[in-house]
Amino acid sequence: MKIGILGAGIAGLASAYFLRDSFPDLQVHEASLQVGGLARSFRWHGFDCDIAPHRLYTQDQELLAELLALVPMARVRRRSQIYLQGKWIRDPVNAAEMVFKFFPARSARIVWSYLLRREHGDASFESLVLTRFGEGLNEMFFKPYSEKLFGIPSNEISAEWGRRKIRVAGLRDMVRRQSKLYFKDFHYPRRGGYGAISQRLYEEVKDCVRLDSRLVGVAREGDKYVCRFVDATGASRTEEFDALITSLPLDTFARLFGLDLNLRFRPARITYLLVNRDRVTNNHWFYFADRDFILNRVAEFKNFVNDGLPAGRTVLCCEVTEIENFSVERVVAELTRTGILKPDEVLDTKVVELSHAYPVYDLGYESEMRRARDFFGAHPRIHHVGRHAQFAHKDIDEIFDEAKRVARRITEENI
């Protein structure tokens, strides 16, 4: 059986890793000249820099053991904060702290709007939040951050996003902090950043990986899937596969296959700042909820693992999805505004553009996903793995686990 894997990010590489022994006639095609996708890292001024902040947290001990067997990792005690209306608060949001820090005027609105909240239904993310938390927390936190992240009004964001990401029922649970959202520890590779996981997988399967091989056409012919690839010179080649695993953006792959889906991805610009200071904060990452900030979140890699890193300097990784108002100068200015940075401390900058950073969960996305499921239901030998292919916000451990399950299913079906 010949299997084609589209994309050499963490999803494609992990799929190949789990299938390589059972299916030697395996090909992984990657459009770029590098592997890892969003889960890659690069070396800059002596620092291992991830492409955007990631996290690796799982309660599945078997899955964790498999990842630790691939790459040595440190267990890190989580430290993160949120900058909100001129104050630093804990992340995840703690309602009691919010009430205390924004006493008295804003606190009263948070409490009373929660106590007097009414049923708004769940037609949108905003109505879901209003029902659960009231207007106070919605206006201060949920609405501005979600609108900045997705670029659309919160009443046009699907409630499904809220059901996935707001894993609490109300202020009582936020105080108790018992949700899985409140993980205390995570794992981080001791060297190489999160990209070390992708690189390790690549070392295991590199003989079947073809770089500079972009998919431009796919069709079903009989019981085969015929794929056409081109390289940077325009040269093309055609391959036939018995089964496909795709990690490509769902709308892109579907369009090549003849289905137009009205799905969107939010692009992002990731700005790296080399700062002339040993550390800027004590946080692993920190968030900016206010709508007048273009910054979404910032990670400081030196706080993850510090072995062998340059002394007296640090790197900040700053994520921006509001790219229409983006500039490096504004990123620096916003960090300066919080008081954690001075402009003359910035020694160098680097910007990485991501065309598909986040799936946009608008009100129509669920119906489009049903169309996709109905369409691909007629193609059981096409498997979708990863954030882009499944149009879902997934962490590294979730993607790795999904690749393992798909590989097991393919293997069992062909025994």
Question: What is the per-residue pLDDT across 63-93, written as a single tens digit (0 to 9) for each?
Answer: 999 999 999 999 999 999 999 999 998 887 7
Q: Compute the C-alpha angle 14/19/23, nearest 5°.
A: 150
| Ranges of residues in the chain whose predicted pLDDT is under 70 | 166-183, 415
Q: Which pLDDT does position 350 carry in this prediction? A: 98
**What number of other Cβ atoms are within 10 A of residue 3's Cβ?**
25
Q: Which pLDDT does position 237 carry in this prediction? A: 96
Q: Which pLDDT does position 238 carry in this prediction? A: 97
Q: Which pLDDT does position 182 carry in this prediction? A: 52
**Signed CA dihedral, 342, 346, 349, 354: sign only:** negative
